[in-house]
């Protein structure tokens, strides 16, 4: 049996009931086959792949908090510090009822390669809790965040592990967590990114993941002889990534006609009104049913359906495995030319293979959504030098990073005779740097 197959089998056997982690490992390992085969003897001797798929550390803890009626609730908190070969652990905190150890491990594993692709010195980690902020008052969210950070603060720091936002963790939650960290540890340092501008945040971090996704998509079309201007786009989700992806798509001359949340989706043939979306989701924290009040000519549908709309480009920006094989077949039949993953692993393995087989330009999340974590690393740099850069400076660096990632993944794919396969390209380009650093640092 090949080394890659042995590793995939061992991961499944050793980590039962973690299907998302298996899926993430399988996707990466399949892409690395050609590199691993060429270095099999050395990698086996060093147990390189065994070390890569085993987190350096995983922390699981109790998070008790009191609701507005005086009732005590207990949630589970996680932080998986996956790999620190190229820098301090870096990755977001997800607050969603679906969170469990397997989900955090898949996200942490992806983060290793994504962070490497940015070209910046950040290792891979991820965390979160099964707490659901939806429908909770600000005081309840604060109570949860303070309790969560009371334990987490023992394991993180500006030079060791720097968490940030993810699903359910936005500016409000980061603020409460930062306050609690400072209160307990007594240090004012850049321990979290995605902070508010008044206490060390970076301009453009809020926009970065969505903007970065569009910079990469634009470049990908460009190197394949196409222009993003004039293209029709479907976006799923209506959170941080989706909102700023739609905004940048419009700025680049494309038209985005859909958005969704966990209960339904909207189709607006004239183009999604970003200001209305921001008001509904960022200010009112309401459901998308409200969108019709702002745009009477739009349609609202319950359930899932954005991938049934005929578009040139699909940008899944909600959550994992939200785009399956049936969706992929519909998109291809409707003439879709490119897919960029704004979310982490939103496309199933089967759907990904279908896109690749049908020559759809497919940008995997670890490349396409790397603009968020890259800008977090820029926030860390600004915190270290006690300076704030302008929006234009940060945005220009973000754009350059996304353009570089596009070329690096395209070049890596070409080097290994897989031209146009950006899944292989992104995984190999991310892996190469991590392996070099792990090898240089000896067995650890």
Ligand X SMILES: O=C(O)CCC(=O)C(=O)O
Ligand Y SMILES: NC(=O)C1=CN([C@@H]2O[C@H](COP(=O)(O)OP(=O)(O)OC[C@H]3O[C@@H](n4cnc5c(N)ncnc54)[C@H](O)[C@@H]3O)[C@@H](O)[C@H]2O)C=CC1
Binding site for ligand X (CB under 6 A): 90-92, 114, 164, 166, 193, 344, 369, 372-373, 376
What is the chain's length?
A: 444
Residue 43 or 115 with smaller CB distance to ligand Y: 115
* Of residues 24, 41, 49, the one with CA closest to residue 434: 49
The SS3 of residue 163 is strand
User: Per rule CB under 6 A, is residue 120 in the interface with ligand Y?
Assistant: no
* Among ligand Y, ligand X, none, partner that 241 touches (CB below 5 to 8 angstroms by kind): ligand Y
Return the structure tokens found at 400.
């350059």
Using only C-alpha atoms, the chain has a radius of gyration, in whole angstroms, of 21
Closest residue to ligand X: CB criterion: 92
Choosing from 88, 239, 305, 430, the residue that interacts with ligand Y (CB under 6 A) is: 239
How many Cα atoms sit within 13 Å of 394 on the Cβ side? 27
Catalytic pick among 14, 26, 45, 126: 126
**30: Cβ contacts below 8 Å, ≥ 6 apart:** 4
User: Per rule CB under 6 A, is residue 166 in the interface with ligand Y?
Assistant: yes
Whole-number Å distance between alpha carbons of 55 and 108: 8
| The residue to which tokens 């850069």 are assigned | 389
123, 84 Cβ separation under 8 angstroms: yes
Return the structure tokens found at 170.
């936005």
* Among ligand X, ligand Y, none, partner that 410 touches (CB below 5 to 8 angstroms by kind): none
Site string for ligand Y, 24-63 (x = CB under 6 A): ----------------------------------------
- The nearest distance, CB 82 to ligand X, in angstroms, is 12
* Among ligand X, ligand Y, none, partner that 129 touches (CB below 5 to 8 angstroms by kind): none
* Among ligand Y, ligand X, none, partner that 55 touches (CB below 5 to 8 angstroms by kind): none
Residue 95 or 413 with smaller CB distance to ligand Y: 95
Burial 64-89 (b: 16+ CB within 10 A, else e): ebeeeeeeeeebebbbbbbbbbbbbb
| 397 belongs to the catalytic site | no
Residue 43 or 267 with smaller CB distance to ligand Y: 267
Whole-number Å distance between alpha carbons of 426 and 412: 7
| The residue to which tokens 């971090």 are assigned | 205
Give the binding range for ligand Y (CB under 6 A) out of 64-72, 144-152, 234-242, 414-422: 234-242
Task: State the maximum Cα–Cα separation within the chain, in Å, rounded to a whole number.
Answer: 64
Whole-number Å distance between alpha carbons of 53 and 14: 11
Residue 55 or 163 with smaller CB distance to ligand Y: 163
Site string for ligand Y, 305-334 (x = CB under 6 A): ------------xxx---------------
Parallel, antiparallel, or unpaired: how do β-strands 161-164 and 123-129 relate?
A: unpaired
- The nearest distance, CB 116 to ligand X, in angstroms, is 12
Parallel, antiparallel, or unpaired: how do β-strands 72-83 and 258-260 relate?
A: unpaired
User: Per rule CB under 6 A, is residue 382 in the interface with ligand Y?
Assistant: no
* Of residues 189, 190, 176, the one with CA closest to residue 379: 190
CA angle at residue 149 from 147 to 152, to 5 degrees? Answer: 120
Residue 442 labeled ligand binder: no
* Among ligand X, ligand Y, none, partner that 90 touches (CB below 5 to 8 angstroms by kind): ligand X
Residue 140 or 261 with smaller CB distance to ligand Y: 261
User: Per rule CB under 6 A, is residue 258 in the interface with ligand Y?
Assistant: no
CA angle at residue 358 from 354 to 362, to 5 degrees? Answer: 75
Residue 3 or 211 with smaller CB distance to ligand Y: 211
- The nearest distance, CB 91 to ligand Y, in angstroms, is 9
Contact positions toward ligand Y, by CB under 6 A?
Answer: 165-168, 209, 237-242, 261-262, 317-319, 342-344, 369, 372
Would you name the residues annotated as active-site residues? 126
Which residues contribute to the annotated binding site for substrate? 90, 111, 114, 165, 376
Which residues contribute to the annotated binding site? 90, 111, 114, 165, 209, 240, 376
Which residues contribute to the annotated binding site for NAD(+)? 209, 240
């Amino acid at each position: 049996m090949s080394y890659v197959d042995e590793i995939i089998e061992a991961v499944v056997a050793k980590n039962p009931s973690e299907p998302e982690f298996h899926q993430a490992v399988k996707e990466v390992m399949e892409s690395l086959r050609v590199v691993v085969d060429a270095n099999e003897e050395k990698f086996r001797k060093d147990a390189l792949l065994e070390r890569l798929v085993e987190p350096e550390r995983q922390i699981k803890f109790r998070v008790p908090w009191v609701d507005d009626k005086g009732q005590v609730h207990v949630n589970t908190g996680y932080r998986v510090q996956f790999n620190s070969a190229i820098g301090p652990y870096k990755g977001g905190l997800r607050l969603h009822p679906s969170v469990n150890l397997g989900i955090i491990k898949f996200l942490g594993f992806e983060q290793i390669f994504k962070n490497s692709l940015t070209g910046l010195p950040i290792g891979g980690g991820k965390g979160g809790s099964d707490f659901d902020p939806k429908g909770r008052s600000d005081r309840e969210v604060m109570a949860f965040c303070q309790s969560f950070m009371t334990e987490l603060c023992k394991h993180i720091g500006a030079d060791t592990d720097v968490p940030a936002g993810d699903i359910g963790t936005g500016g409000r939650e980061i603020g409460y967590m930062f306050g609690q960290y400072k209160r307990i540890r007594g240090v004012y340092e850049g321990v979290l990114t995605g902070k508010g501008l008044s206490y060390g945040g970076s301009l453009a971090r809020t926009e970065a993941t969505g903007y970065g996704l569009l910079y990469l998509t634009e470049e990908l079309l460009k190197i394949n002889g196409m222009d993003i201007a004039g293209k029709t786009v479907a976006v799923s989700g209506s959170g941080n990534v989706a909102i700023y992806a739609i905004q940048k798509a419009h700025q680049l001359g494309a038209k985005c006609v859909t958005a969704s949340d966990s209960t339904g989706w909207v189709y607006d043939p004239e183009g999604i009104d970003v200001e209305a979306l921001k008001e509904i989701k960022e200010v009112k924290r309401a459901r998308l049913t409200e969108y019709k009040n702002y745009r009477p000519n739009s349609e609202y549908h319950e359930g899932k359906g954005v991938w049934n709309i005929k578009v040139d480009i699909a940008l899944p920006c909600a959550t994992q495995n939200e785009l399956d094989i049936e969706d992929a077949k519909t998109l291809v039949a409707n003439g879709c030319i490119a897919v960029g993953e704004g979310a982490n692993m939103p496309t199933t393995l089967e759907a990904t293979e279908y896109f690749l087989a049908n020559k759809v330009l497919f940008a995997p999340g670890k490349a396409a959504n790397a603009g968020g974590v890259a800008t977090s690393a820029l926030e860390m740099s600004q915190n270290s030098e006690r300076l704030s850069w302008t929006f234009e400076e940060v945005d220009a660096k973000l754009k350059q990073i996304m353009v570089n990632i596009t070329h690096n993944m395209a070049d890596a794919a070409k080097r290994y005779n897989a031209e146009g396969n950006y899944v292989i390209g992104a995984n190999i380009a991310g892996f190469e740097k991590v392996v070099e650093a792990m090898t240089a640092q000896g067995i650890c």
